[in-house]
Amino acid sequence: MSTDTAVRPSSGYHRVLGAAASSAVGDGMRFAALPLLSTAVLDDAFQVSAVTAATTVPWLLFALPAGAYADRFERRLLMVLADLLRAAVLVLTVLLLAADRLTFWPLLTSAFLLGVGEVLFDCASFALLPSVVPKDRLESANGRLFAVQTVGRDLLGQVVGGVLFTVGRAVPLVIDAVSFLASALLLRGVRGPVPESGPESGPESGPAAEPGPGAGKPRLLADIREGVAFVLRDPLLRALTVSAGVINAVYLGQIAVFVILVREVLELPDAAYGALLAAGAVGGVIGGAVAGRLSKALGRAPALVGNLALMGAAGLAVAATDRVPVVAVAYGVTGFALMVWNVVAVSLRQTIIPDRMLGRATGVYRLFAWGTMPLGALVFGRVSASAGPRAAFALGGVVTLLTCLPIAYALLRDSRVTDRRKTTEDAP
């Protein structure tokens, strides 16, 4: 991809930020409304859980192809198409609901397609951002982006979605469709990098390259293999990817048993569960707002390792107490530390990965980071069932603290962590 768009006017970033805010609020409403809708129209508990799971399955199936397409085609266009796909799916779902024909299979298909759109949009958006923001402002830009998404999805969207569902089952879905259309309109004004020579562009392409017998034909599998090999052979990218998988497995595992801790150990009502979850979201918003400044003040390596340690300590604190204020603060600290980790880690990856590989590297990263989450839920659920939710939080704290060691080793050995001018073009 062309490199003359490395620094773009701030209006491009503001449009991406506005699109993310619009779509995040709609997503939050859908996250709250879809389980409620499934429960209302389906009678089988397994079918209800299958619909919820269907939104995450595309990450396992399509993260790698989506990352490859984000490097082969214009990223802004992929994001717009993903928005339009999701808006169309929601409109069709509303029409089926109005006609009283929204049964299990149409609802399952809708959830799956919404997940496909999310995969395409996210892989393209994380690859697009470095082309609309100067590299020395990536951490601040990512921090605002993550904070906007957290507020829109986890605070505003989910609360409003639950309320609007009581007004009418279709209302949150209609507003979500509108949010995707608004996002698509905002993205139309963004100008990012485009492939110089079409989908086949890469380091070997150029005027002197001899076209082979298969020139111009899709090379999706080859592109995917190149992306996977690129991440695996780089020690720092490999460490960041594995660490993200461990962190997300622990985080989702703790989320899965948190409701048991609140109800059975702390003996709190259901309303308190929502309030404690909100404490984590508030911590995340604060973390997103200060992550850039924190990274500049401490350095990237201390910010990453320090917040990993903070997450581990917070998990151990939850396991060691039955005092509600301590749990609330610990959960807020977890949200803060996780957000800082995400912002700094994503910004570091965007800085050191060459533009032509950003989509594929993001796909590989997301495959590992999100693919471990169901495993974490299963493992922590089993630990909670046999030894109680406190044991699950203690396990998560210990595992997270142990993860500090390999990531610290990889960060300290790599000069690119402190030298922002270098990229992995010269990586082994």
Which value, in Å, is the radius of gyration of the alpha carbons in the chain?
22
pLDDT greater than 70 at residue 57: yes
**CA–CA dist 284, 268 (Å, integer):** 23
pLDDT band at 234 (very low <50, low <70, confident <90, very high): very high
Stronger pLDDT, 318 or 30, i.e. the higher one: 318
Q: Average pLDDT of 44-62?
A: 79
Stronger pLDDT, 201 or 252, i.e. the higher one: 252
Q: What is the reported pLDDT for 270?
A: 66
**CA–CA dist 54, 41 (Å, integer):** 17
Stronger pLDDT, 268 or 9, i.e. the higher one: 268
> With contact defined as beta carbons under 8 Å apart, do 317 and 265 qualify?
no
Q: Average pLDDT of 250-256?
A: 83
Q: What is the reported pLDDT for 140?
A: 83
Q: What is the reported pLDDT for 315?
A: 94
pLDDT greater than 90 at residue 316: yes
Q: Average pLDDT of 325-343?
A: 93
∠ CA 323-328-333, nearest 5°, is 125
Q: Average pLDDT of 305-313?
A: 95
Q: What is the reported pLDDT for 5?
A: 38
For 8-34, the pLDDT digits (tens) are 445 688 888 888 888 888 878 877 788
Stronger pLDDT, 408 or 131, i.e. the higher one: 408
Stronger pLDDT, 78 or 219, i.e. the higher one: 78
For 111-160, the pLDDT digits (tens) are 999 989 988 988 888 888 888 888 778 888 888 888 887 788 777 787 78
414 token code pair: 């790599």
pLDDT band at 305 (very low <50, low <70, confident <90, very high): very high
Q: Average pLDDT of 219-236?
A: 90
Cα 37 to Cα 8, 11, 25, 104, 177: the distances in Å are 42, 38, 18, 11, 16
Q: What is the reported pLDDT for 3?
A: 40
Stronger pLDDT, 216 or 59, i.e. the higher one: 59
Q: What is the reported pLDDT for 193?
A: 65
Q: What is the reported pLDDT for 218?
A: 53
Q: Which residues contact 377 (CB under 8 A, 6 or more apart)?
A: 252, 253, 255, 256
Q: What is the reported pLDDT for 192?
A: 66
**CA–CA dist 4, 355 (Å, integer):** 11
Lowest mean per-residue pLDDT among 40-54, 201-215, 382-396: 201-215
**CA–CA dist 223, 219 (Å, integer):** 6
Q: What is the reported pLDDT for 324?
A: 92
**CA–CA dist 136, 265 (Å, integer):** 46
> With contact defined as beta carbons under 8 Å apart, do 271 and 159 qualify?
no
Q: What is the reported pLDDT for 402?
A: 95
Please name the residue that has the structure tokens 């150029």: 206
Q: What is the reported pLDDT for 42?
A: 86
pLDDT greater than 60 at residue 203: no
pLDDT greater than 80 at residue 211: no
Q: Which residues contact 25 (CB under 8 A, 6 or more apart)?
A: 152, 153, 156, 157, 160, 179
**Backbone dihedral region for residue 403 (phi beyond 0: left; psi -120 to 50: alpha; all else: beta):** alpha
Lowest mean per-residue pLDDT among 18-32, 110-124, 178-192, 336-350: 18-32
Q: Helix/strand/coil (H, E, C) string of the chain?
A: CCCCCCCCCHHHHHHHHHHHHHHHHHHHHHHHHHHHHHHHHCCCHHHHHHHHHHCCHHHHHHHHHHHHHHHHCCHHHHHHHHHHHHHHHHHHHHHHHHCCCCCHHHHHHHHHHHHHHHHHHHHHHHHHHHHCCCHHHHHHHHHHHHHHHHHHHHHHHHHHHHHHHHHCCCHHHHHHHHHHHHHHHHHCCCCCCCCCECECCCCCCCCCCCCCCCCCCCCHHHHHHHHHHHHHHCHHHHHHHHHHHHHHHHHHHHHHHHHHHHHHHCCCCHHHHHHHHHHHHHHHHHHHHHHHHHHHHHCHHHHHHHHHHHHHHHHHHHHHCCCHHHHHHHHHHHHHHHHHHHHHHHHHHHHHCCHHHHHHHHHHHHHHHHHCHHHHHHHHHHHHHHHCHHHHHHHHHHHHHHHHHHHHHHHHHCHHHCCCCCCHHHCC
